[in-house]
Amino acid sequence: MAEFDPEKFEDKYEHYFTELQQAYKQAFDVMTERYGSDEIHAVDQLILAESEPFYEGEGFRIELPEDAHDRLDGVDVTVADIDSLLSDYTDEIDRQLRGVFDLDTDTEPKV
């Protein structure tokens, strides 16, 4: 594990690509257990593939594409379900990023 440097995180894909992949994969695994795999795969491929994590002092904010809801057009899920799923998923990514970078020990998924 690389030691976390907030300044280096500005060039995250150059300095922390492996750690980002690990955190996103771990979040995906947790979310697959929590939700149906079809919904999680759709969100992962259609929305989160173009998300952007930003470090904000004590954790990470996951910026989603502006047209996130539109990207799931044709996927059998309601807007309320999408919002709930995205909120849970981005919280889990934040939790996993904090764990990967040893910023806290709360990497257990919330139930």
More confident residue, 80 or 12: 12
- CB neighbour list of residue 37: distance below 8 Å, 6 or more residues apart: none
What's the confidence (pLDDT) of residue 111?
Answer: 38
What is the per-residue pLDDT for 83? 87
Residue range 68-110, pLDDT digits in tens: 888 887 777 666 688 888 999 999 999 999 999 999 755 454 4
**pTM to 2 decimals?**
0.86
% pLDDT > 70, the chain: 88
pLDDT in the model for residue 92? 97
Please state the separation of Cα 27 from the chain's center in Å: 6
Q: How far is CA 95 from the centre of its chain?
A: 9
